[in-house]
Structure formats: structure tokens, C-alpha cells
Amino acid sequence: MSTIPDETTMSTQTASIEALHLGKTGKVSDKWQSYLPSYDRLFAPLRDKPVSLLEIGIQNGGSLETWCHYFAQGQRFVGCDVNPKCTALHFDDLRVSVVVGNANGQDAFNAIRAICPVFDIVIDDGSHISSDILLSFVNYFPLLKPGGVFVVEDTHTLYMDGFGGGLLNDFSAYAFFKKLVDVINFQFWKDDLSINNYLRTFFPLVNTPGFITEGWVDQIEFRNSMIVIRKAVIPTHEKLGERIIVGSTAVVQNLVGRVGMTATAAADFSA
């Protein structure tokens, strides 16, 4: 049975995620309105790729159907949910697999990796509890392919005490992801403090996840109720690159001859 409008009125090859969601039938899918255009922007470059996607927290399974229709060339779609009722979810699309269990438990983690060892996209729509969000990021960000995308949904819960959050809570997952902004810019403060020391609030001094200290976190984007973290293609903390100056006329300030200036020199020179 089709879970989207008939192809005479909508082509699954061109329909946006927003259109697919709004026109959906079949298994129920629950998404906030602002997520839909955000996902269209994020996932458009991957639409025709053989992607693999993991979604933590699938509820009725409807969003897995949406991802299957949007990523027509996708290879694997894995959903994980702690609710035992999810064992009753069945999909006609053989690319879909469901793991029932705690995504951060060893059994579920092993089951997910057995189905698909690496992913292009990981979406955390699980418990929304701060400690679970942080643990899911630590466990599953390393499974992303270089250039992959990790999305945390419903982060408005991180302002709520009942989810281990709070605006002034220095131990919440939101506080951690805000610190990742500084880690992305580590090249400009690396002589002042180590990443291990900077993140000591969240990890024992010698146990900071290697993917963080190695420079695999490339970008982070904060939206209302959503955080998007992109994995680097090549791990590095020298993310700014060389300063590239072009042109031959500099009436206001003489920059000619400074092509290839290092990031450190550029920071010292520019004013």
C-alpha cells in the first residue's frame, strides 16, 4: 500500500520532505513544522545517493517510510526504539530494519552495527533526556561516514528539568554542544588549554572521545529545537585554511603579496 499521494499528483522523485510528510498516509509520522524545510535543505545533496540512515526513536515508524520515499536510491534505513510495541512494525520496503531496545545498550548497538556498520545520516529522536542525547552522540557519531550528518531533534526539552536540562545547567547536553563551537575553533586557543581539560565537565580527563580530539567535528548548527553536527571529510583542527587574497589594486590597505598567509598570521594581521 502506498504511503504517499498517488504518483499522478506527486512524484516521489521530486517531492520535498515537507510535501511527502504533509501528504502522508499509512504509518503515522510526527514532526514539528520547522523541521521539514530544514531537512530539505540538509538532505537535498544526498537525495540521489545510496545513503544509509539511522533514526533513534521511531514511534509509529512513519518517518522511516518518508525517508524511504525521499531517498529512492538509499541502501539501508535502520530504526531503533525502546518501546517493545515496535516489534509489531512491519515494512514492505526490504531496505528498512527495526531494532527494539535501548540504542545506547550494548545489545541494540551491536544489532544496529550488524545491520549497517556506517551511516550517512543519524537522527536522534529518542528519549530527549540530556544524558541519553550525549551518550547517543558519543556512540553513533563515530559511525558516520566522513561528511555525514548527525541531527538531534526536540532540543527544546533541554531547557526542562524533567529531561535533565535547564537554562543554567552546565551539565546538560546543550551546554556540551555549545562547547563544541569552541572545539571547532580549537586552532585559535590550542596554546592555552587542551580539549581534554576544556571538556572535563563531561568526560574524565583521559577519556575524551577520540573523534573530538582528532578534529572530526567540522560544523555545528543550532536551530529552534534542533542541533545539526556535520562530520569532517578529513579530521583536522586547522579548519580555517590559508588566507587567499586576489586582485592587484589595494587602494585602502596593501594586501598584495600576502597570498598563502597562514591562519595564525592572518589573525595577527587583520584588524
Residue 144 is placed in which grid cell?
558516520
- 46 vs 170: CA distance, rounded Å: 35
Given a contact cutoff of 8 angstroms between Cβ atoms, the answer to whether 140 and 132 are in contact is no
Write down the H helix ranges in the chain: 17-22, 35-43, 62-70, 106-115, 130-140, 173-184, 195-198, 210-213, 263-269
Torsion of Cα atoms, 95 then 101 then 105 then 109, to 10°: -10
| Residue 261 DSSP class | B
- 61 vs 100: CA distance, rounded Å: 12
Of 21, 128, 156, 237, catalytic: 128
DSSP result, 41-57: HHHGGGTTS--EEEEE-
- 21 vs 37: CA distance, rounded Å: 11
Neighbours of 253 (CB within 10 A): 9
- 138 vs 126: CA distance, rounded Å: 14
Given a contact cutoff of 8 angstroms between Cβ atoms, the answer to whether 226 and 155 are in contact is yes
Annotation says 128 is catalytic? yes
Given a contact cutoff of 8 angstroms between Cβ atoms, the answer to whether 80 and 98 are in contact is yes
By annotation, the residues acting in catalysis are 128
